């Protein structure tokens, strides 16, 4: 089967029930999406399929439909995405394990809502867990990214 990841086409030969997360990590060597829980509850494996945030641990190979973007493909080759820049500005990451999933969730959310309230940010980001508890910084970074995206 052919899949497109971060703008590149790949021919893969995998079982239909192989999770997208393992295709990305084991077959293609793309390690940004992390294995967290395996049951779509933590968000560490979040990627975009056609711009929508999905849990790659629960998307089967047979169900892949559309272009996949991982944290590695989010920004431009010579520039970070607004969410990535805001994450750096607000020093969101502590251990960093969940951050690629957090960033992918935030980017997808901001594509749908470019002027979110604190409550909307908290709601949109609540499905991505951060064991370090950087939620206040995550909220600030999402706000900053939204402002930067609106002014771009």
Out of 3.40.470.10, 3.10.20.30, 3.40.1360.10, 1.10.10.10, select the CATH number for domain 2-73: 3.10.20.30
Place of tokens 């600030």: 140
Return d(Cα 24, Cα 83) in angstroms, integer: 22
- pLDDT tens-digit readout, 18-53: 999 999 999 999 999 999 999 999 999 999 999 999
- What pLDDT, on a 0 to 100 scale, did the predictor assign at position 83? 98
Q: Do domains 2-73 and 82-151 have the same CATH topology?
A: no
What pTM, to 2 d.p., does this model score? Answer: 0.96
Chain length of the chain: 152
- Band (pLDDT 50/70/90 cuts) for residue 76 is confident
Query: In the chain, where are the structural domains located?
Result: 2-73, 82-151
Q: What is the 3-state secondary structure (H, E, C) of 77-93?
A: CCECCHHHHHHHHCCCC
CATH numeric code, 82-151: 1.10.150.120
Judge contact between 87 and 93, C-beta under 8 A: yes
| Residues 74 and 81 sit within 8 Å (Cβ to Cβ) | yes
> Above 90 in pLDDT, residue 138?
yes
């Amino acid at each position: 089967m052919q899949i497109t990841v971060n703008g590149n086409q790949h021919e893969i030969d995998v079982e239909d029930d192989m999770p997208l997360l393992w295709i990305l990590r084991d077959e293609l060597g793309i390690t940004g999406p992390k294995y967290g829980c395996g049951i779509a509850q933590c968000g560490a494996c979040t990627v975009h399929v056609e711009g929508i945030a999905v849990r790659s641990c629960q998307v089967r190979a047979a169900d892949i439909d559309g272009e996949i973007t991982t944290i590695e493909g989010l920004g431009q080759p010579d520039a970070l995405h607004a969410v990535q820049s805001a994450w750096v500005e607000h020093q969101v990451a502590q251990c960093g394990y969940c951050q690629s999933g957090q960033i992918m969730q935030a980017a997808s959310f901001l594509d749908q809502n470019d002027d979110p309230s604190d409550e909307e940010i908290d709601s949109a980001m609540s499905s991505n867990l951060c064991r370090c508890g950087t939620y206040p910084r995550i909220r600030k970074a999402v706000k900053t990214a939204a402002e930067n995206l609106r002014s771009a």
